[in-house]
Amino acid sequence: MSDGYDVLLRDGGIAHVRPLRPGDRTALHELVEHSSERSAYLRFFTGGRGTAHAYMDRVTSGAYRGHALVATVRGRLVAVAEYIPVGDGSADLAILIDDAVHGHGLGTLLLEHAALDAAEHGTRTLVADVLAENRPMLRVLRDLGLDTSRRAEAGMTHIDITARPTARLRAGIEARDHEAARASLARVLSPRSVAVIGASRNERAVGHRVLRNLIDGGFPGPVHPVNPEAAEVAGLACHATVPDGVDLAVVAVPARQVLEVAGDCARAGVAGLVVLTSGFAEAGQREAEAELLRLCRSAGMRLVGPNCLGVVNTGARLNASFLPHRPVRGRVALMSQSGAVGAALLERLEVSSFVSVGDKADVSGNDLLEYWEDDPGTDVIALYLESFGNPRKFARIARRVAARKPILLVKSGRSHAGGRAVRSHTAAAATPDVAVDALTRAAGVIRLDSVRDLIDTAKLLAAQPLPRGRRVAVVGNSGGPQAMAADACEGHGLSVPELPPGLIEARAAAAVGNPVDLTADATAAEIGAAVAALTASPEVDVVLIVYTPPFGSGLEETCRAIAEATKNAGKTVLACVAGRDTLIDGRVPAYAFPEQAIAALARAVRYAEWRQDLTEPADVPVQVDDRGARAIVEAELAASPEGRWLSPATAPRLLRCYGVTLVESVQVDGPDTAAAAARRLGLPVALKAVGPVHKSDVGGVRLDLRTEDEVRRAYREMAARLGAEMTGAIVQPMLAGGVEMIVGGVNYPAFGPLVMAGMGGKMADLLADRAFRVPPVTDAERMLGELRCAPLLHGYRGMPAVDVEALTGQIRRVGRLLDDLPQVAELDLNPVIASPDGAVTVDARIRVSLCEPPPSPLLRRLR
């Protein structure tokens, strides 16, 4: 943190937070001079600015023993917050803020960060003495979200603040972060004025096309073309440089000029920059992109791009892009990291807004989720991503947003196998793409395989209410396509139930079961009547209309009948109109093929069920020795900084810190010590080689050895076969029968921990029967229920049921271990023998590796 980090303020501005440095003395004295006498009095009580100046000399001296954070805005130091430990687990807390930035949320933010830093350094209680008349500070400390106790003494309020984070603090931080992120994008997506820098008279140039789109789209505010070599462009007077106070500047100049233009915009007070120009990180120019971002951040500007198409807000009549066609207003908000994909989506979707993020140097999907969450014009959010900037934060924000609005995601790069070599069963299975699946699933995000799937699903969710259940009625004039629709329903786990007798009145030739085949001769009126009856039936959750034109009354009349029959339906209705993708009456999505319609419907059903089941079971507390576990990991990494697999003696020690149940094991180094261990443990025993990763693959496992001579002979044969690769062995008692399971996990630097459970033993890789979760694992029993082998756990064909609670306990404990210890890169418990008497780990492999600690989810900061 020596260089600090950028943070968003309540009004959308940007501050930079970092530790205090001795070289800040002059800036601190300037802060005092910018503060009023009253502010100095409220902070230092007596002596006013004189006391404040003397104190700033002390905090920048070598004798200062406190911890201080400072904040700068536009390069000027505007605040300092500190806590000074007093030796009993408590610390004195204080803050001084420039009067010019009062009311922007900076004080609250610095106090949050100081409290989190204090707790991390062992402080249990923060102590603040506040003058009773300093009501704003009393209010800030009250609303911070930490537990406090107060007592009044002679015009002073003495406040003890428990530094331990609380649920209220988490909720407050999330709410404040949301408010700041939304404010920071308001002047980008709903600007009062726009400047186009590089507005050319050449009608084919990007700058000209952006200007033309703004004019033709009817943007209601001032539009300023900027071109020092032109008097006017497109009928508008040109500026040599960007005018002061412009909200949004769109930059369409060559890459070599972008930094100079960004500096001009910073001086003019521009709020947001959209850089269309390419030639930055995507072309290997990462330093230039980093400097562009630094310029924007130091000036308080949000940056969209570079290398992007621009931004659109149809509700604000803003088309600040060089798209070749005008976007159509709708209810879908769209973000694309690919310009080509974004343009293709805009041809097929009606949107509320569109942001092409390009290189995504600053504004990302996380920011846009925060903005669109409260956008009254947006009902559905669609994202095309090539990379995650901060996947953990994405998961937290997306889960909250998805509780209100569906989020659709197409993430490219499914085939990427990861950037590091992995050798455990879990790490081989838990690829980064599997991590994305687990993360999006936990957040309620609808992940899709293709842009086609995104369009199909967005059409349905934007136009129709969420399905109330899985019961689908299929009605139409085409038996074959209706049968295909019914088959697709079954394939996606949807129900096509029998309908009540007499529900549909139709000609004698019609089949009025479900699907309801009205035959090719069915008129528009007959189709409409059947649809109306089905939408009114309490036995049906969804109505799918299958129509093949031009039979019956023809396409136009049939669509009118469908529109009339469904205008007050109140439940999900969709259609398959053979060969056509369209919207009937702007409300009923129609698809060219039945499979398309059912696939989109199935996604909507699963999302609706996730919404209904948002109350996850509470995380079951796990008693752990996390301090002892950290000591083990730190000692291993001190001895081997490049990382290593833990020894058969160390891995069980680490697992026992988390209460994982292990079979008794004895490490041996020869035939005689192996025989002695077998005698002590009690025959029969298992002998397992130490050294090979997958022992069973190379003959490194011998089971059910019933005499000491068998143990000696097995050790000699194993050593002869494996040679130097075998560095010893372990002896274990044979366990009674049970179900062999695997419980494991990986820690990815970006995604964090991922837990796996599945069929174990030799079947682990062959059957690939696995389920994944992001810790904390609060639904371990449901996780096991997803496995094909789940019936084995509950008594299959006369087998006894296993102790599922013991097995889920192992899963939760592994999740907690991985969450606590990011240095645990890979972990395999395989097999875990699940039986009626419990769940016991027989073999454990753990690899540790140095890594950067993940940022605290409570620390508000821009990536």
Whether 62 has a pLDDT exceeding 90, the answer reads: no
Residue with tokens 């990861």, as numbered in its chain: 418
Q: What is the DSSP string of 665-720?
A: -EEESSHHHHHHHHHHH-SSEEEEEES-SSGGGGT-EEEEE-SHHHHHHHHHHHHH
Sign of CA dihedral 695, 699, 701, 703: positive
pLDDT at 430: 59
The CATH 3.30.1490.20 domain(s) of the chain lie at 664-734
Q: Stretch 761-774: mean pLDDT, rounded?
A: 84
How many C-beta atoms surround the C-beta of residue 273 within 10 A?
30
pLDDT tens per residue across span 655-687: 999 999 999 999 999 999 999 999 999 999 999
Can you read off the two tokens belonging to residue 157? Answer: 């309020």
- Give this prediction's pTM: 0.91
Whether 342 has a pLDDT exceeding 80, the answer reads: yes
pLDDT at 417: 43
pLDDT at 809: 95
DSSP code of 803? -
The CATH 3.40.50.261 domain(s) of the chain lie at 466-612
Q: Stretch 569-586: mean pLDDT, rounded?
A: 95
Q: Which residues of 250-262 are buried (b: 16+ CB within 10 A; e: fewer)?
A: bbbbebeebeebb
pLDDT tens per residue across span 496-522: 999 998 898 877 667 778 999 999 999
Confidence of residue 419 (pLDDT cuts 50, 70, 90): very low
Confidence of residue 787 (pLDDT cuts 50, 70, 90): very high
Report the alpha-carbon distance of residue 110 to residue 859 in Å, rounded. 10
Confidence of residue 418 (pLDDT cuts 50, 70, 90): very low
pLDDT tens per residue across span 136-170: 999 999 999 999 999 998 889 999 999 999 999 99
pLDDT at 424: 61
Confidence of residue 414 (pLDDT cuts 50, 70, 90): low
Confidence of residue 764 (pLDDT cuts 50, 70, 90): confident
Q: Stretch 843-858: mean pLDDT, rounded?
A: 90
Angle at 774 between CA 771 and CA 779, to 5 degrees: 65
Is there a contact between 83 and 121 (Cβ–Cβ < 8 Å)?
A: no
Is there a contact between 180 and 105 (Cβ–Cβ < 8 Å)?
A: yes
Thinking of the domain 5-165, which architecture would CATH place it in?
3-Layer(aba) Sandwich (3.40)
pLDDT at 420: 41
- Which residues have a Cβ under 8 Å from the Cβ of 784 and sit 6 or more positions away? 757, 771, 790, 793, 804, 807, 808, 811
Q: Which candidate, 130, 153, 152, places its Cα nearest to that of 141?
A: 130
How many C-beta atoms surround the C-beta of residue 787 within 10 A?
18
- Which residues have a Cβ under 8 Å from the Cβ of 649 and sit 6 or more positions away? 667
Confidence of residue 618 (pLDDT cuts 50, 70, 90): low
pLDDT at 415: 59
Q: Stretch 222-232: mean pLDDT, rounded?
A: 96
Are β-strands 844-848 and 644-645 bridged in parallel, bridged antiparallel, or unpaired? antiparallel
Whether 767 has a pLDDT exceeding 60, the answer reads: yes
Angle at 24 between CA 21 and CA 30, to 5 degrees: 155
Report the alpha-carbon distance of residue 811 to residue 816 in Å, rounded. 9
Report the alpha-carbon distance of residue 319 to residue 310 in Å, rounded. 8
Whether 30 has a pLDDT exceeding 60, the answer reads: yes
Q: Stretch 295-304: mean pLDDT, rounded?
A: 97
φ, ψ of residue 141 to 5 degrees: the values are -65, -35
CATH number assigned to the domain covering 466-612: 3.40.50.261
pLDDT tens per residue across span 354-407: 999 999 999 999 999 999 999 999 999 999 998 888 888 999 999 999 999 999
Q: Which residues of 283-308 are buried (b: 16+ CB within 10 A; e: fewer)?
A: eebeebbeebbebbbbbbbbbbbbbb
pLDDT at 736: 82
pLDDT tens per residue across span 428-476: 665 778 888 988 998 999 999 999 999 999 999 999 999 999 999 999 9
Confidence of residue 614 (pLDDT cuts 50, 70, 90): confident
Report the alpha-carbon distance of residue 552 to residue 522 in Å, rounded. 5
Give the type of residue at 195: A
Average model confidence (pLDDT) for the chain?
Answer: 93
The CATH 3.40.630.30 domain(s) of the chain lie at 5-165
Q: Rg of the Cα trace of the chain? A: 32
pLDDT at 622: 76
Whether 101 has a pLDDT exceeding 50, the answer reads: yes
Alpha helices in 786-833 (DSSP H): 790-793, 804-820
Is there a contact between 705 and 711 (Cβ–Cβ < 8 Å)?
A: yes
Whether 302 has a pLDDT exceeding 90, the answer reads: yes
Q: Which residue has the higher pLDDT, 737 or 781?
A: 781
**Least confident window among 57-66, 169-178, 243-252, 602-611:** 57-66
CATH of 664-734, one of 3.30.1490.20, 3.30.565.10, 3.40.50.300, 2.60.40.10: 3.30.1490.20
Percent of residues, the chain, with pLDDT higher than 90: 84
